[in-house]
Amino acid sequence: MCRTWVVAALVIVVSVAIRVSGVAGRDSDYYLDRWNDKNRGKSKAITPEDPTAQIPSPLLSPWSRLPPGATGKLILTSAATSNATTQIPDDAQLLPPSLVDPPATSPAFRNSSERDPKLLKLSVSPMLSLFNIRRVANTPCLSSSGENGTCFNARECKRLGGVTSGSCKTGGNCCVFQVSCGGLVTQNCTYFVNENYPKPFDGVGSCQLTVNKVNPSVCQLRLDFDSLVLSGPETTDNRCLNDRFTVSGGSSTPIICGTSTGNHMYVDLGRTSNTQAVLTVITMGPAFERSWKVKVSQIPCNTDYTAPNGCLQYYQGVTGQIKTYNYDVSTGLQLSNQDYTSCVRTERNFCGIQYTACADTVNVDPESFSLTGSTTTQVGAVVGQANCPNDWLIIPCLSDSSVDPTANCVDRICGDAFNVREGVTVGDAVLYSFVKPFTLVYHTDDTEGNAAVLESGNRGYCLNYVQQPCV
Ligand SMILES: [Ca+2]
Ligand SMILES: [Ca+2]
Ligand SMILES: [Ca+2]
């Protein structure tokens, strides 16, 4: 989702002074003659009687409010065009519909014979014909191919480097922005894809995307991995030594590799307006068919979907699923050198959170929570700082009681059972935390197969959460 304001790139500034007859100054005939002189030979000369002349420009529609039979002259005092950008709020209406649509029902324009000839002359001047571009409220939209886009008229979309896909209910087309290696992001909600996407990329290289804040009020980027398929970590210590996805320029983010399709990541850019972030995909090592499509959304400061400080992942909603990167219960390997916090937004009237390990239909002994231990030697539940010094997950006061928040409460867990009761051969349990804000701090060291106690087959974790109503 790309919920934020958007940029309208074409701003037309026109000051039109309208005066009823009897005032001094150059009148419309003067400007019309000058236009015709200047453009003689380039385009059709305009005559007041031209039957093909268009209905007056929307911005001139105040004329339509003149009583039938009234006469007047238009006097242009200044006119200019500009490519300056401006911020338009989500719900902006650049022009109210009554001004955008031709005033067909207006008494002054019921039929062409009633039109004021001077208005007809002016309406086809090149400056004013710009107003015939139907203005589009730049609201978010869903393209026909399923991407998030922004409504623009087709010409503007193309000028901004987008591709239209489907139309918008409010007018215009759904404009989708997609860039690849070497690209620069200047639009909110831009997709970063590999070269020749959706074809895979199998080669060695470094593919970078530079992201500019599209507005000074942007504080964060949200990266949604619609697809992120890279080669996995090396298989001894699970380090990302070949392919890597990294982010620089913003808050510290872990280096990830392997497959993280469906996952996401927030990058804090701070409040400095000119901060740039660079997303990099490094591909090297053995042949592998990589592909990625990362949606880059720009998140303003202080909204209800702005992640709190220090949250690399931010889950919203009463229920959800939280996964470590490169999680796959059958083939994914827990990545080493991870150190980050995932946060769950406390929804209104919710006071606690329940966690359960995701279903594992692949392994006899579930591995959907497996931080330490090995596939050959299941260690079960391991808890506490002393017992979990290498790879661990901290959930404040995690308990297996939904009624007594402090029962068997521990903060740090590891092992290969999602459980707070160590020393018992137990499987995964339903666990609770009533400490707000809801956070999960995850850490892995840089060894796995070379650790003092060998670990193997660790998958990281996948947890389902359900927020618990206040009672
Ligand atoms: Ca481990
Ligand atoms: Ca297990
Ligand atoms: Ca480790």
pLDDT at 123 over 60: no
pLDDT at 445 over 60: yes
- Decide if 93 is inside a domain: yes
Residue 106's domain comprises: 6-132
The reported pLDDT for the residue numbered 165 is 97
- 192 and 218 housed in the same domain: yes
Provide, rounded to the nearest whole percent, the portion of the chain with pLDDT above 70: 71
Place of tokens 């970078």: 208
Examine the fold and report which residue of 256, 278, 306 is the final residue of a domain before the chain moves on: 306
- Nearest Cα to Cα of residue 314 among 219, 447, 189: 219
Examine the fold and report which residue of 285, 306, 327 is the final residue of a domain before the chain moves on: 306
Alpha carbon separation from 264 to 41, 98, 120, 256 (Å, rounded): 58, 42, 55, 12
Q: Distance, CA 373 to ligand 2 centroid (Å)?
A: 9
- 193 and 158 housed in the same domain: no
- Decide if 447 is inside a domain: yes
pLDDT at 66 over 70: no
Across residues 69-97, what is the average pLDDT?
33
- 403 and 299 housed in the same domain: no
Q: 3-class SS at 415?
A: strand
- 299 and 323 housed in the same domain: no
Residue of higher predicted confidence among 24 and 222:
222
- 327 and 463 housed in the same domain: yes
Q: Distance, CA 444 to ligand 1 centroid (Å)?
A: 7
- Nearest Cα to Cα of residue 423 among 391, 453, 382, 372: 382
- Decide if 202 is inside a domain: yes
Number of domains in the chain: 4
Q: Distance, CA 404 to ligand 2 centroid (Å)?
A: 25
- Nearest Cα to Cα of residue 8 among 193, 170, 151: 151
Which ligand minimizes its atom distance to the CA of 368? Answer: 2
Q: Distance, CA 326 to ligand 3 centroid (Å)?
A: 14
Q: Distance, CA 371 to ligand 1 centroid (Å)?
A: 4
Q: 3-class SS at 406?
A: coil
pLDDT at 5 over 50: no
- Decide if 116 is inside a domain: yes
- Decide if 1 is inside a domain: no
The reported pLDDT for the residue numbered 447 is 97
The reported pLDDT for the residue numbered 159 is 96
- 73 and 103 housed in the same domain: yes
CB 256 within 8 A of CB 245: yes
C-alpha 471/C-alpha 468 separation (Å) is 9
- 417 and 283 housed in the same domain: no
Provide, rounded to the nearest whole percent, the portion of the chain with pLDDT above 90: 66
- Nearest Cα to Cα of residue 21 among 65, 66, 53, 64: 66
Across residues 234-239, what is the average pLDDT?
98
- 464 and 402 housed in the same domain: yes
Q: Distance, CA 329 to ligand 2 centroid (Å)?
A: 11
